[in-house]
Structures are given as C-alpha cells and as structure tokens.
Structure 1
C-alpha cells in the first residue's frame, strides 16, 4: 500500500502543476521587479519599458543540461525579433556559480539574465527549463518547455507586425465567415461587427462583440507601449487600428506629434533600407558590411537628436541593424 501511494503522489503533483500552468494562460502577467541586486548578466530592463513587447521568460539553471542547450535557440530568437518588440528574459533558479557568466559569454548571450525572479501568475513548477510566453497585450499566451513555445513566438510577432484573424479562435456556426476577417491596414472591421451589437438575444453575436472589444483594448495597450519605445512602429500600428475601428479617437495627440517630426520622416526611409537588408539575410544571401555600417552611421547621428521620439526609434532600428551584422561580409 505504501508503494502504491508512493507512485500516485508524483502523478497528482504533476497534474496539479499542469493545471496551474493551464490556468495561467490568458491571465495578465505581473512582471517582477527587475532590481539591480538580482541582475546577473546582459542588459538591464525596467518593467515600464516592457509594455507592448512580446516577452519570452525562461526559468533555467546552469547545472541543467537541457537549459544550457536551449540558450543558443533563445539567442537566435532575440537576434531575429528584438528590434520588433520582443525580448527574452532569463531567470536563473539555481545557486550562484562562476560558471554562469562564463557560459553566457561563451554563447554570446545578449538578453538579460536575473537571479530567482518569478511571474506570480506562472511560477516555475519545479522542473526546468520552463518558459512563459507573454503577448504584447501583457497576457500569458502559453507556458511549458522552451522548444514547445518557439513557434508561438512567431505567431505572436505576426500579430504585432502584420494583420491577423482576431476571431479565428472562436467556434462559430451562424457567423462562421467572420473567423476569416484579417486585421490589416485599410480593412474596416468595425462595420462588420456593428450590426451584431443590435442582436441582444444572440449569444454567438455577443461572444463576437466581446472578443472584438477585448482585442481593441489589447491593441491600445500594445500601442501605448510602442509609443514609449518605438514611435515608428507605433505609427504603423495606430494606422492599422484606426482603419479597423474608425470610431477610435485614441492616440490623435501622439500621432500628430509624430507626424510633425522631420526626423521620424527621415527614419522611415532608413527603416525601408533595414527591412531590405533583413530580407536579403533571410534569403540566405550575404549582406554587405558597407551597407550595414552606412545605416549604423545614420542611426548614430539620429540617436543624438533632441527629439526623444527620434532617439527611441533610432535606438530600436540600431538593434535591428546590429542583429543583421553577423551575416554581413567582413
């Protein structure tokens, strides 16, 4: 009897951990206090700077072989998406060791590493590595092993950078065609949702309106974060949201400020060149070091601008250019 209980207990514990992880999905994530005393390696972050960003938060340990194996993959994600509103944050869950710094330097890790920090809605269940993916709206998208979340990062970044089906997750019968509605610049979605608001006794219509309204609020939150960190991307997102929901009058003041900036207008041309180089790199073709260095020089000048919006946008583009550099010809 004792042996039987011995085998049952771990199963119960595992089920409880899984239940806890599943319950966290969809919750608003409460980010920890990224204080200097817990900082181990890499750049430092502040909670306010993470608004509107997609976050890959990983619990790991230096004495855990799978944790060590995941680090190069996480660095690849960081290099690919960091300038588009994404960051990896590592939380080391084992004891202090000089091997930590040595290992991270050897693997050229650039994302921030902290000691023993935790997300209260998605704490480490015990086993590591364990990852938590947080969307640009601040909500937990998924939890689990790092490798199981890699594809979800791409999906979350697609939501930030391009159109996506906001009603695709609903199982609709009467309004099945609405699941194909894609958010993109120039598409008025509000016009298709408005008639459903009058169907007060239609539960499916009510669910669609509820989902749509939640999406609008999430978009506003994400855009506000971009306004503070990357005005160029904020302008794109604001235009997309206003096209989808013409009745929205949020961000008019910010947009007016952005549009008056000659420096931002010039950076739009730089952004086009950066995207062209990214496309070349993504096709596996060599990128000219001269082209990369030329853009970096332009951005270094822009970062010294007296316009804080130009500074922020130039800094974001500089990160993007720096991520291209390893593929450049020397």
Structure 2
C-alpha cells in the first residue's frame, strides 16, 4: 500500500476510535508513513488511558526523538565505545563538520556506500571535517569483523542497544546520515550520492 494511502487509513481509524487499543497499535506501527505534524495531531487525539499504554509511550518517545533530530536541532551528547573499548563522545567533534553514519554489518547498502565515503574523507579530512560511523549491530563480533574488513580510516562506535540511533536521532532505516556543523547542530540528513557531494562542496569549497 502506498505511503499516502496508509496515512489516510491511519488518520481515519484513530480519529474515529481515539479510545481504542487498536488505534495505539496502528499508529505506532505506521508512524513512518506520517509526517511530524500528523503524528503529533493523532497522538493528541488518543485518550489518556491509551496514551499510558506501552504503545502510547512508544509514540510519545518517537515524537520527542523527531523533534530532536530535525535540521537546526542540537543532538544531546552521548558516549559510546569504539572497537578498542575507548569512549567516543559526540562533543569530542565540536568545532568540526561531522558526518554521522548509522550502519550495520549486515546492511548491504551501508557497506556499498563506503568506497565513495572513503573518497570524500580523503578529499575533506584536512578541511575541518570528520566522519563517525555508528553501528547498530547487536552482535559485537560481527561488528568488529566488519570494521576490520572495511578498514575505514575514520572513527567507529558501537550502539548495540540502538539507544543513540533511535532515542537521539530517530533512525528508522539503514544507512542514515546526519551532517552536523561545528557548533553541533544538524544541518542536513539522509543525504545520498550526489546530494552529499554537493552539500560538502558547498560547505568546504
């Protein structure tokens, strides 16, 4: 079913049944089909009892994460571990343009993007630019194996519980990229191929 059609069905059901458990389930499962404004409006229609359910709390968490991951927002600092168990903090990269790459060892498109990212890294690494790859692999061994195989020259971090990817950046699919400015604000996201090239060239001519 097309995204627009799904969104219409969700809106109709929730609007007609704000006190139904099914409304909370349907809204949570189809939240990706809804823009921020629509998701918030439908959540607000739910009765207090439905909002208090696990599904209602999940929708509330997603709304909060979306607000924090829009362009212009400054993501909260976080601490993860790299491949040698050293702490990696978002604040470590203040003062630089930072491309955050959410990926996983099992994600084919993620790994297929690395050769081009290596080209970009070589081109911009001396222009106040850094890349941070954050893996959402639950299997640490699989992540470490992939890190070794790819041998990317930029920092790595492991988000095994997806706390940063979901709660801070509201990542829904892999790969997902976020570009932060030197002050730590999100200035672009979900860039691919030529779009990413164009944005980096614009910022670092």
TM-score (norm 2): 0.59
Question: Which of residues 67, 70, 73 is equivalent to 1:24?
Answer: 70
Report what 1:237 is aligned to. Answer: none
Equivalent residues in 2 for 1:243-262, closer than 5 Å: none
Task: Check whether the contact 1:59–1:130 (CA below 8 A) recurs between aligned residues.
Answer: yes
Q: Distance in 2 between matches of 1:24 and 1:150?
A: 21
Q: Distance in 2 between matches of 1:5 and 1:106?
A: 40
> SS of the counterpart of 1:25?
coil
Report what 1:15 is aligned to. Answer: 34
Task: Check whether the contact 1:42–1:110 (CA below 8 A) recurs between aligned residues.
Answer: no
Specify whether residues 58 and 146 from structure 1 end up closer, same or farther in structure 2 by C-alpha distance, changes over 3 A only: farther
Task: Check whether the contact 1:135–1:156 (CA below 8 A) recurs between aligned residues.
Answer: no
Q: Distance in 2 between matches of 1:66 and 1:14?
A: 22
Which gives a bigger RCO, structure 1 or 2 (Cα 8 Å, sep 6+)? 2
Specify whether residues 22 and 46 from structure 1 end up closer, same or farther in structure 2 by C-alpha distance, changes over 3 A only: closer
Report what 1:143 is aligned to. Answer: 189
- Per the TM alignment, residue 134 of structure 1 is displaced from its structure 2 partner at its CA by 0.5
Specify whether residues 150 and 40 from structure 1 end up closer, same or farther in structure 2 by C-alpha distance, changes over 3 A only: farther
Question: Which of residues 156, 165, 170 is equivalent to 2:203?
Answer: 156
Equivalent residues in 2 for 1:84-233, closer than 5 Å: 84-116=127-159, 118=164, 123-147=169-193, 148-158=195-205
Q: Aligned pairs, how many?
A: 152
Q: Distance in 2 between matches of 1:21 and 1:152?
A: 23
- Per the TM alignment, residue 48 of structure 1 is displaced from its structure 2 partner at its CA by 4.7
RMSD: 3.5
Cα-to-partner distance string for 1:270-317 (whole Å, 9 max, x where unaligned): xxxxxxxxxxxxxxxxxxxxxxxxxxxxxxxxxxxxxxxxxxxxxxxx
Query: Which of the two has greater strand per residue?
Result: 2
Report what 1:82 is aligned to. Answer: 125
Task: Check whether the contact 1:56–1:131 (CA below 8 A) recurs between aligned residues.
Answer: yes
TM-score (norm 1): 0.39
Q: Which runs of 5+ in 2 are unaligned?
A: 11-25, 40-65
Task: Check whether the contact 2:68–2:75 (CA below 8 A) recurs between aligned residues.
Answer: no
> SS of the counterpart of 1:59?
strand
Q: Which has the larger radius of gyration?
A: 1
